[in-house]
Every structure is written in C-alpha cells, then in structure tokens.
Structure 1
Amino acid sequence: MAPPNPGLTHLSNALATPEQLSASSSLIDGVPSDLEASIRCAGTQLTQAAGVLLHLSQDIIAQAIVIFTRFWLGADGGSLRIYSVKDVSAAALYLTAKLSFQPTSPRSVLNVYTLLLSQEASPLWFVNPRGAPKQPPSADSYTLTEGGYQSARLILLRIESVILRTLSFDTHVALPHTIALTYLQTLGVTDSAVSRRTPNALAVAAIYLASREQDCKLVDGEWWEVFDVDREELGFLVVGMKSTEGFMRAETEKWKGPGKPIPLVVEEVDAEIERSQMMQEGE
C-alpha cells in the first residue's frame, strides 16, 4: 500500500494502489468480483455487530473494519479461498481491541462470534435469512464447548499473526470522525444535527452531505478547498457515499430474496462458486 503523507502521519492512512484495487488475491483465485464484494460487505457488518455486542467503542470497531478491509486488498492480500471471512473478522476485532484502551479476551470474542454465526440464534440477515428466531433458541446452539473454545482460540491467534504479516505490522488507522468535528468548528457550525449525522467516511464529503440534508448554511465559496479537497474529488466521494444505500438494498434483495446465507467460510465460498459455474453451464 502507498505510505501516508509523512507530514500528516497521524491524520493519514496508507492508501491502496490502483493495482491492489483492480486485482485481489481472491479474484486471482477464481472468486467472482460480485461474490467477493458481497462476502466482504457481510464481513464488515459482522465485525460491526460483534463489536457492539462486545461493548467496544465505535472508533475501535471502525478501526477493526479498516484492518479487515485492508487484509483482502491486492494480489498479496488474503484470499477468500484460503481464509474464512468470519475468522479474519474476529481476529481483526480482537487485534484492534488489544491495541486500544478496551482490550477484550479471546473467549469473549469467540463467544460473540459463535452466537452471531449460529443459523438458529443469529439476528444477522445474511447469516439467518429467515430472520431472528421468535423463541429463544437453545443455548447449546451458540455455546462453545471447552474443546471447541481451545480449537477456535488457536485459529484466532493464528489469523491475527497472518493479518499482521500481511499488513507488514502497520495497524495505524486514522478515522475521520474527530477531523470532521474539527472542520465543523473551523467553519463555525454548531448545529448538533449535522455533527450527529456525520458518517464514517472522509470528513469533508460527510460534512457536505450532512449540511445539505439538514439545510445548514455553511460559509460562502468553495470552503472544501481550505481542507485540500478539490471539487472533482468532493463530487466523487459524495456520489460514492450516496450510492451506499442502493448497494445495500441490492445486496439484501440478492441474498435475502432466495433465502440463502452469504458464504462466510472457505468451504461455503467454494460451494457457491461451484454452484454458480454449474448454473452457467446448464444455461
């Protein structure tokens, strides 16, 4: 990945190169790009849900999602035909929490993931397309045995080391939340509605969208240039952010409609690829 601006290291992230974005290890291994996008999207949602159940702060969860996403980038990144999304998600969250002021134990992480990945107990639509159970399921369906825990713990620690090696031990993540609030103060905006609605995205584009949605008047002129963002870049980011809702709606219809879970382990990914190939041959 391209290194961040050396003068703004604490405010910058390493950026993916065009080559990393165009050819992932998963794509090279035969995973269709649309399937890869669905699986990685589900992985970020799984990470978010697990972080909430572990009572981690949102900035820790967001950092874990960035680490999770970086792992799959480029030909040297992880492949969905080698590493299971559920394992990488758990390891990214465990690693990020361990480096923060809210470390959590392997047992807590694994217990939460066992619950979220249980097709009988999970509230996640992409794990349990039928919806959360109306009656509380048996605890046996989402409780790790001691032997199961020890085995899962070894996998968690192994994948943690794989993530670190893949990222060259660069776990720095700069989030836009604090930057956005600083920019709002610089612009003289005190509208709490705008501040609350600033999403986890690049700060300037988030402020632009939130201010328009709340009909909040900002300063005259092209204020975004003060923060080193040109009009073309701002427009690209705004379009990208506004397209997120449509993408998620399409993903829900694509997977929840047929009522099948998104594959989150290697064996399920292989089976889905084989099924798709057989359908194409049948046509």
Structure 2
Amino acid sequence: MEPDVAPLATLAQIQETPSARDGIPSELEEDLRAYGAKLIQQAGVLLKQKQVAMSTAQVLFQRFWYTSSMEKYGIAEIGMGALYLASKLEECPLRMRDVINVYDVLIQRSRQSTSSRDFKYEPMSYFSQDYYDMKDILIIAEMQLLKRLGFDVHVTLPYGTLINYMRVLNLLEDTKACQMAWGYLNDALQTPVYAIYPIPVIVCASILLVIRHLKLEIPSSQEDSPSWWDLFDAPFEDVWLVANLVVRLYRPRSQSDQNRVMQLLTKKDVRRWLDENA
C-alpha cells in the first residue's frame, strides 16, 4: 500500500489559526470554510469538471486557512484559485475565462438574494475593469496557494480506501451503506478534517456514521478481537472527533447566520465585518 504522504496541519496551526489571531470567531471561520468549499463544488458542477478535481481543490482550500487568514484573503478568491490549480494538477484544465465567469455568477447570486427566484445576473464585459480585476485575483490566488503551501500540493483522496475498507467489513454489497459513506466523505470536504487527519481515520469516521445511522452490526470472530477501526490503525478518539466535525455540518443554522456568511466572500467584506464588530 502506498503511504499517505499528504501534508497535515501542525498542532500549533490547529490550536490557533491565522484567522483566529485576526479576531475571526472559530464558528464563523468554520462556516466560511464550509461555504467556500460549497462554492468550489457548485462552480465545478457548472463547469462540468471532474469530481476528482473538485475534491482536490476543496482539500487545498482547507489547507490554505492553516497558513493564511481570511482577513487577508477571501474565500471566493482562494476557492477560485484552488479550483483552477486543482484542474491543472488533475490534468483536466479549465479556461481562466470560464472559471471567472462562473465565480462571478456565484458571487452575484450570494450577494443579491438567498432565493434563486429573485436572482438577476448581470454579465460583465471581457473588456471591463471588473473582468481584469477578477483575472488578477485568480492569478494571485493560485500563486498564493502554491507559495503558502510550499508547493506541496499532493492530495490523497479517500474513495479507493473506502472501497477497500467496506470490502474488509463485508459491506461492499450494501448499496445504501456505500452510497451513504461516500456522501459523508464528500460532505467532510466542507470541514478541515482532510487537513488535520490521515485518510484512514476519515474513512473510518464515515463508516462509523453509516453503521450508527443504519444500525448495522459488524461481527467479530472472537470476543477479544480488536474493534474494526483498530484493523485500519485508526484511533477511536480521532475517528469520533472527525465524525463529530462532519455531523456539525447538519446542525440548524439561523437565517441571519446563513446570510452573514454569504456576505463575507472577499477580504474587504471580512475586514468591514471586523471593523463593525470590533
């Protein structure tokens, strides 16, 4: 088996992120991370991009915030840069113009209304200053991702590992369980877990959520045999923490909290919010 050599955040980075040092509350940072990852997924779908590129972009996006603050870089611009970079890394490149156009739509939709029925898109001219500004933002975002991550942009995705683990646990024939576990892994891309924990732990967390949700039983050959997560060298404490981080995505959010996140897509928006709440 190829070792998981993907870089992970240090304990110091996890305990106090750059955004936290700049006064951004942890819950707001968590919501902005999730929404930025959603924008990457939405943009990728509109661009008909491969899922592997979208997932890679989301992992790079999550790693970035352990090296840089949301007060200095906006989630929309870094998400745009991450998707553009990941598309090159996964050998399914996108045109810069297309990425800019799609993000322009998503940003306008977020700012105008929470209801798509009220959304009216105003396309920008390719010769306008707005277009050239977004082009500069995309180029800078890609360069900052490479610089801040030390050009270490290797990403290990969990899907192959999930299939192997489900086969070992005799769950591969359970279509519902497999689909649900796959969904949890995709949802986890909206959280920082891929920048904190190795892939076996994240996969075991998704399986644990499936087992508890569907009330499945994993048989053991002997009473004193190790628990199933021990078979994959995944400490239960870590598995439990990852599962809880994923479950937090589904907690109810007030409409005001949702609207606040949708209005904080750029560094200027975040700086204004910090000034207003100082």
- TM-score, length basis structure 2: 0.82
Tell me the CA shift for residue 128 of structure 1.
Answer: 4.3
Q: Render the CA deviation track for 1:69-108: whole Å, top value 9, x for unaligned.
A: 11110xxx22222222211110000000111132111011
1:211 aligns with 2:211: yes
Tell me what 2:143 maps to.
161
Return closer, same or farther for 1:29/1:172 CA change in 2, 3 Å cut-off: same
1:21 aligns with 2:17: no
Tell me the CA shift for residue 218 of structure 1.
Answer: 2.6
Tell me what 2:231 maps to.
226
Tell me what 1:268 maps to.
269
- Structure 2: distance between partners of 1:71 and 1:259: 22
Tell me what 1:43 maps to.
36
Tell me the CA shift for residue 264 of structure 1.
Answer: 1.1
* Higher alpha-carbon deviation: 265-274 or 22-31: 22-31
Q: Render the CA deviation track for 1:95-150: whole Å, top value 9, x for unaligned.
A: 001111321110110000000011xxx2x5xx44431135x73x5x1334333333
- Structure 2: distance between partners of 1:206 and 1:51: 23
Task: Give the unaligned 5+ runs of structure 2.
Answer: 189-201
Return closer, same or farther for 1:151/1:163 CA change in 2, 3 Å cut-off: same
- Structure 1: distance between partners of 2:212 and 2:34: 27
1:170 aligns with 2:152: yes
- Structure 1: distance between partners of 2:18 and 2:165: 37
Alignment of structure 1 residues 27-106 onto 2, 5 Å: 27-73=20-66, 77-106=67-96
- TM-score, length basis structure 1: 0.81
- Structure 1: distance between partners of 2:260 and 2:148: 34
- Corresponding residue SS for 1:243: helix
Return closer, same or farther for 1:80/1:103 CA change in 2, 3 Å cut-off: same
| Larger relative contact order, structure 1 or 2 (CA cutoff 8 Å, min sep 6) | 2
- Structure 2: distance between partners of 1:15 and 1:260: 26
Return closer, same or farther for 1:87/1:235 CA change in 2, 3 Å cut-off: closer
Tell me the CA shift for residue 259 of structure 1.
Answer: 7.3
Tell me the CA shift for residue 266 of structure 1.
Answer: 1.7
- Structure 2: distance between partners of 1:215 and 1:31: 39
1:82 counterpart letter in structure 2:
K
Task: Give the unaligned 5+ runs of structure 1.
Answer: 1-6, 278-283
- Structure 1: distance between partners of 2:41 and 2:22: 27
Instruction: State the identity as a percent.
Output: 27
- Structure 2: distance between partners of 1:261 and 1:186: 42
RMSD after superposition: 2.3
Tell me what 1:3 maps to.
none
- Corresponding residue SS for 1:117: helix
